[in-house]
Structure 1
Amino acid sequence: MTDPGWAKHLADILRRNGIRMFATVPDYIVSHVLEHLAADAECRVVTVTREEEGVGLLSGAWLGGRRGALLMQNSGLGNSVNALASLNVASQIPIVLVLSHRGDLGEFNPAQVPMGQAAGPILDALGIRWIKPSSVAELEAQGDGLVKLAYTRRLPVAVLLPPELTGGKQG
């Protein structure tokens, strides 16, 4: 049974760590987190048309002194690999990636499976530290440390949101 409060917990972790700039490509799962962020007058949420556009926007925000997070489906990771590698990793610009994890256990759409299985290995290949919490307790135990690590290492980090945590997207 999933905890419906997972989205608020994640939004709280992001805000607790000084993140106020958010870019997103619309997605059902991450929309639950965005509801909490958009309700906060201190947070700015920008909808982008492609994931790498969000990478550029948030990298610019970092250079301007703001911390940012990109919320998207894990399929968007494939669209943003070059931007993450050549900009964020190469130039040590931290951002937090929040990825709804499609293509894993219980996936109903076969088109989601290849990228769902590749997400972790892609993050590993880029040297991006990531977590995949299956419960709110795991999210709370690991989330703050992961976000702090992004700014200590000056590199991107990622939170993969599995269906065990979020309840997934039903077909």
Structure 2
Amino acid sequence: MRAPHDTLTSERLVLRRYTADDLDLLVRLHSDRRVMRFAGGVHERSKTEAMLRERILAYYDQHPGLGIWLTSERATGAPVGMHLLNHIRDDTVIQVGYLLYPEYWGRGYATEMAARLLRYGFGELGLPQISAITDLPHVDSQHVLLKIGLRRDGERHFPAYGSDPLAFFTRDAASWLAEHPA
């Protein structure tokens, strides 16, 4: 895999690596009950700080090109949340995902950047397959995953995410790129 981008852009958004200075932004995201309803529940500051250090910042060097990134509006620089292209925790499956601050819901931001991450993952990184997981009742997120061209592939259990089965979506590079030419 090639070296990661410092930033990745779409029409209205820009992704950049998190830094230690972004802890308050991540805490704000992880402490909102609406955001975290389907993402493991609200996290205390100490848990979010450990996640930033151990699962976000360290991951960049361990897995070049992949990660969890801060998502901001290109026009204003306002942080809108996060997007990710990384391993499902404790697994080899590469996933796309997102969490947005509630005031940015309904603007198409999750869809726009998740689609850009598929193009980046398949086209630039050469990943053979990208997947996604959501809680079964999280139909809004499932709708986004279908819009970006992933396909529902039943339910799967990932122990790191609890005992409940999760909706599993996936797509291989060849079929996605054939349907989404540059």
TM-score normalised according to structure 2 size: 0.31
Greater fraction helix: 1
Higher normalized contact order (CA 8 Å, seq sep 6+, divided by chain length)? 1
Structure possessing the higher radius of gyration over alpha carbons: 2
Greater fraction strand: 2
